[in-house]
Structures are given as structure tokens and as C-alpha cells.
A and B are shown apart, each in its own frame.
Chain A
Amino acid sequence: MSPSTDWRVADNRIGILFIVPFVVAAALVFMVYPVLESVRLAFYQHNPLNPDASVFVGLENFRTIFDDPLFWQSFRQAAIWTGCSIVLQTVIGVLLALLLHLPLRGISVFRGLLLFPYIVPTVVIALILQWMLNPDIGVVNWSLRGAGLIDESIYWLATPNMAMLSTIMLNVWKYTPFVTICVLARLQTIPLELYDAAKVDGAGPLRRFLDITLPQLAEVLVVVVIFRTIWTFNKFEEIYLLTKGGPGTSTFNLAIYSFEQSVASLKMGVGAATGVVMMLLLFAGSLVYMRVFRFASEEAE
């Protein structure tokens, strides 16, 4: 090892030494402490307005949520919202990626535009969407009426099924670009020789997609779907900003349920217990992800 290499290694180590305290401090303050505090609170009856009167209640908060029909309704709705969102994001995301992979003039502009929904703040999107979906003056109903597709206004946010559909639409619109970008990146690494060979063997476009493209995308799709599932299941702001969980409780998910328990009902312990349940679900999702990822890596080796 040359002296210059020694210096470089030493530089790297010093750099890491400088970074470590901040990383550790940030992790402790913003991740470890909130998680531990949330777990602690889950075992207490805690009113934020009277923090000095906290009482240890054991598993009572968990019993409360598991006995609450609204918890299970929120869980069911979270599953529907997540499932529908992920399926649509994946299908539309792959189709868009295939389109954007075509060697057309100016395609890079569209690839750039793809990021737009992803970078616009959710609060902006939700407020605009509320106006667009307004049954009386919204542009969506106006356009549908103009095109002769509907006679009567659609109440996008005022009926349970349509409200669920609207929140799914928002999630799909905002996060499909994430799927598209991941898939597009993978598409660009598939060797063209594979397609040429398939063409020589007489494979048509559909055959080539099913036998070459899809298997090549499988690994990235698994990762994307697992990540998106975890993130979507725990989403709060999109639903809260668009419907506040309504009408009724028809768009509640577990995050909204937790918020309502903590802030509206001032039952921090019950809200925290819900958070712990969500954390366990997230942890289970992460385990699945890590296992799939390891399998994928082993297969690659």
C-alpha cells in the first residue's frame, strides 16, 4: 500500500468520524426517541392537557383498540385503499415506463414532466383536488358533463364509495411516477441483444414483453411494490387533507384512527397503541422485503 493510499483512507476515516455524531444524534432524536416514547405511551393512560396525571394501564389501550369496531373498519379500509392504489400504480407505472422507454424525439421532456406529481406538496394537490372535485363548480364534473358522459353531478367526496375512489385516485396520481422511474431505470439496463435474439426466433411484441421484459422487471417490481405498500398503508396526510376520513368514517385508515384517538379524543395512549400496531405491521412488511431482497440477491449470485 502506497503512502498516498494511506492518506486517503485516513481522510475517509476522519470524514466518517465527523459525520457519525450528527447521524447518531439525528437517529436518536428523530427516530429512536419518538419510537421508544410511542411504545412507552402505549402502556399509559395519558391526557396531553394533564401530562402529570399519566397512569400505567398495561395492555388496556391495546384491548381498547382491538375491541373498537372503528379500528377494524379502519384496518379494512386501509387494506382496500392500499391494495387498489398499489395495483393501479404498478399497472399504470409499468405502462408509462414502457411508453417513455420508446426512442421518440422529445421523450426526455416527458420523462422530466413525470416527476411533477411527485414533487408537488401533498397539501397543494389535496386542496386543488378538492376544488376540482367539487360537485357543483368543479372542473371534473364540468368536463364530464360537457363531454356528455354524465347528466347529474358526481359527488366525489360526499359519498363513501366515491370518497374512497377519490383518495385512491390522488394516491395513484402522486406516486405512479415513483413506480415509473424505478421501472424505466431497469428497462434501460436490459440488453437489447435479448430482444434481437427473440425477434430472430419469431417472438412478437407480447411474447417479448412476457418472456423478456417482465422477468427482467420482476426484481425491481417486487421491491417497489413492497415499499409502496408499506408507505401507502401508513399514509395520513392525503386522506386527512382530502376527506378527513369522511364522509362518516368511510375513508378512515389506521393513521387517521390514531390521530383521532390522540388529538380529538385526547387519548394519547390509545393513539400510541395504534401506532405500535402499525409499526409492527411495518416491521413485518420490512421482513418480507428483506427476505425477498435476499432471495433475489442469492438468485443473482
Chain B
Amino acid sequence: MKTRIPSGMPDPRLSPRRKFLTDLAALSGGVAATGALPAWAQTKSTKTGTVRVWGEPGPYAGVAVDAMNEWAKKFAPGIAFKLETLSWDSVYVKLMTDLAARNPAHCISVESPIAYQLMADLLLEPLDDVVQKVGRNRLVDGVKWEYWGAWKGKQYVLPAHHQPHLLVVRMDVVNELGLGNPDNWNWDDLRNAARTISEKRKDMAGISLALGRNLCTDYHFAALLHSAGGRMFDVANKYQVVFDSPETVEALEYVKSLQPYMPKGAVSYSFLEVVDSIVTGRAGISFYWGRPYGRAAEENPAVFANLQSFNHARHPKTGRRSNWNDFQGWCIPRPNNQYVEEVKAALVYYQTSPEWLVRYCHSLMPNVSPVYKDVLSAPRLQEHPFFKTKRETIMNYYVNSLPNSSSTGNELLKGVNPLAGVVHGRSILAQTVQKVVVDNWKAPDAAKWGARELEQVRKDNLRLLQIA
């Protein structure tokens, strides 16, 4: 039964988190002192109009745009930054159609593989000058500027955050069933845990992964592929396709072996459905970024209290625990962009303000990890209430995940690959997975099919790679 809160009284269930965010919002006027800004960020502009900014769903892009508008208020009163939020599964379509129409937003934040594709296609402005102003030595340990997007010696993407998916576990269930410490699991232990939960808890799927034809499936599968030591392309060898491999087959067979312990609807799951299954308590284990914590805290405190994230289960032979880490940043499309200098100045303004950057991280804890040392060590960052109960999980997302970082655009951190954006546009990894889990193909045949598709992508896009 719901309890009525007398009017005027603070709602105790509303969470220190919401109250904290409310308090934080109150800080919004002038968090960055103009005097402390680099001269370059104080560039004045007399231009007028709306500067369109693309960001993924979530409050953090809104915080960044608030910061940019604070800059505009001070230095370019004729312009306003306006956020256009694009859902992940439609971002590629929107981006490509707008670019094809030569009408992209003036500043965008997209998934890193897509940014890499745009960068190699020379559709982005180089940002080395901005990096210089922001501070080249500020990055947290374990990352490099190129992870966000550097190509042929130029930096095209400015860091916004890094964002790994990890193993999200319902610890109450795991403890109740005596499944051990998830931090010590290997693939076999993970499968055993998923099976046990499925068998013992009739109200709950053992594990919830995305298996639909979408980006989320691409990212979930990529982590398993990389843990097994497999890759799509060999960057060091002219981007040759290396997907038709025993490692791919092993990863596909592993997904197939987990399928009986997933919700039946998983074959159409994307990001939202996986979050739903975690937050509503319908899954014992999942792979996910930090997003479910915020929702669970507000919608299902019992689930929130028992959620914990770990680095992924180790591959039994390689010992790898690869995650899919989105080194997501800000980039400036070149076509028809009359606001390049204004966007650069606004980015410097916001990126040199630890207050705004802390606020950015706080807006959806622990989904967007800080990328600058001064932000990570800022006492204010740790004032978020989640730090009281979820410190270990937060630090797993923020710091401890970094040695296991990988992504489709930078497989096993062996080099940036602009072909990954095209691969995601066509959902080739997800389609390969679906050949196995929906169409019941044998894993080796699916791997061969995927390799053929990737070969076609390589062939069609040799111009991006500038190789013969």
C-alpha cells in the first residue's frame, strides 16, 4: 500500500539521490567562474541562431548543453544550444540521413564506432586545438586520447565520458543460492549461475542479454567475442577480416548455451528491455552499463539495494574479462556548420569546469564515467549518495573496468577501426547472433556468414582505410 506524504513534508523515499540532484540543479547559475577560464573559452561571438546538439538519451547530454548555454549567455548572447535526443537504435539512421541531406547537427555525441566512421570519412572538424586548451595531461590513468577518436595523427573527438558494460548481478539471489563471488566467475560459472537461478527462481530469468537485431546485441556479443580472444578485423594487417575463427564460434555457442536461461523475449531485446528486466527484478544477471542503477533507485529500491556490478566473467582459457566500453565524445560535423568556433569555445568552457563535469557524471550515476583525473578525484564527485552504498560498483565502472576495455571500434585496444560504424549500421554482429539463436544455424556457418558480410563492408569502404 502506498503511504501518503503530508504536503510540505519531504518524501523520505525520494531518495537522497533525487534530493541531491535537485540541490545540484540549484547550483546551475554560474558554476564556472569566468575569471578561471582560459582566454580562448572567452571568445566572443556576435552570431545568432540555434546550435543543434545531438546527444544520446539521458540527462547528461542535457547537462552538457546547459553548460554550453551558460557559455553562450556570457559570450554569445545571440545563440542558443538546443539538444536533440536520439535513441541508440535510431541514431545511425538519423545521422546518415541528415548527413546525406548535408544537414547534420552542429555538435554531436554519438557511440564511438560511429564517430570513428565519420572521422575517417573526413566529416568532422579536427579538435587538436581544443584538446590543447582542455589539457592534454588530464586523462585518467589507463586511457589514451585516441580511444575517443584520433585518425591519421589528428584528434577528432573530445572526451565526454567512458561507459563500460559490466556484469550486473542481483546479489541477494546469488547469495541465497550459494553461487559464490561473481568477481571470481569464469564463463562456466556464469552459465551455471544463470541455470541455477532459472531453475530455482521461477519468477526470474537466469540472465538477460539483448539478442535482437540492434546495437545492444552487437555490444553484448562483442564483449564475449573479445574475451574469447576473437575479433572482427585485424587492424595491424590492413584490416583483414578475422571473424571466421574458432573464437567467434566459441562465443556464438556460448550465447546459444545461455539462451535457455534468458527470457524468451530476449531475441527481440534491445537496451530498454534489458534495463527493464533488471529494474523490475525479472533477471538475476545481466550485462549492462550503469544506467539501471538510477532507475532502480527510484522505481524499485529493493532491487537497487541488491544490485552490484563486476568485471565480466573470465574466459576459461584466455582469462580475459572484456567489456564493451564506449569512449564517447563530442565531435563537430563539418558540412554546413557555421558554428564551428562557437562550439569549440563552448566545449572548452564546459570541459575546463570540474563543476560542470561532476554534474555531468552525477546526472546518471554511474553510467557516465569521468575521464579527467581532476574530476575523478574531486571531493564533490563523491558527494553523490550512491557513493555511500555502491562505492565498489561505481569504482568498477569508473576505474577497475579500464584494463578490460574493448569495443568494436577498438578491438582489444589494438587500434581504432572506422569500419565498426558501418558494421553497426548493418547490425552484422546482431544478425550473426540471430542466425544462431533465432534461425538455429550452426555456429560455424553463422561465423562464416558474418565474415562474408564483414568482408563486404571492408571491400565497400576501402577508401575510409586509405589502403589498396
Contacts and interface: CB of A to CB of B under 8 A. Distances in A.
Interface of A: 48-51, 53, 134-136, 153, 155, 157-160, 163, 243-250, 260, 263-267
B434 A266 contact: no
25 contacts: A49-B100, A49-B121, A50-B121, A136-B263, A153-B265, A158-B265, A159-B438, A163-B268, A243-B268, A244-B89, A244-B213, A244-B214, A247-B213, A248-B431, A248-B435, A248-B439, A249-B431, A263-B96, A263-B97, A263-B425, A264-B93, A264-B427, A265-B422, A266-B96, A266-B425
Nearest to A265: B426
Contact of A153 (B92, B96, B264, B267): B264
Given A159-B267, A264-B92, 15 more contacts: A49-B123, A136-B282, A155-B265, A157-B268, A246-B212, A247-B213, A247-B268, A247-B438, A248-B435, A248-B439, A249-B431, A263-B93, A263-B97, A266-B425, A266-B460
Question: SS class of chain A's interface: helix, strand, loop or mixed?
Answer: loop
A135 B92 CA distance: 28
Contacts of A48: 96-97, 99-100
A265 B434 contact: no
A50 B268 CA distance: 33
Contacts of B93: 263-264
Contacts, number: 81
Nearest to B424: A264
Contacts of A51: 100
A159 B266 CA distance: 10
B268 A136 contact: no
Contact of A158 (B123, B268, B460): B268
Interface in B414-441: 422, 425-427, 431, 434-435, 438-439
B426 A135 contact: no
Interface in B434-468: 434-435, 438-439, 460, 463
Interface of B: 89, 92-93, 96-97, 99-100, 121, 123, 212-214, 263-268, 282, 422, 425-427, 431, 434-435, 438-439, 460, 463
B102 to A, nearest CB: 8
A34 B187 CA distance: 53
B440 to A, nearest CB: 10
The interface centre, meaning the residue of A157, A159, A248, A250 with most chain B CB atoms within 10 A of its CB, is A248
B55 to A, nearest CB: 21
* Closest CB pairs A-B (n = 9): A48-B100, A158-B268, A248-B434, A248-B438, A158-B265, A246-B213, A264-B425, A135-B265, A264-B426
Nearest to A244: B213
B121 A136 contact: no
Given A247-B434, A260-B426, A135 B264 contact: yes
Contacts of B434: 246-248
A68 to B, nearest CB: 11
A265 B267 CA distance: 22
Contacts of B438: 159-160, 247-248, 250
A50 B264 CA distance: 42
A130 to B, nearest CB: 10
A53 B427 CA distance: 25
B96 A245 contact: no
Contacts of B425: 263-266
A49 to B, nearest CB: 6
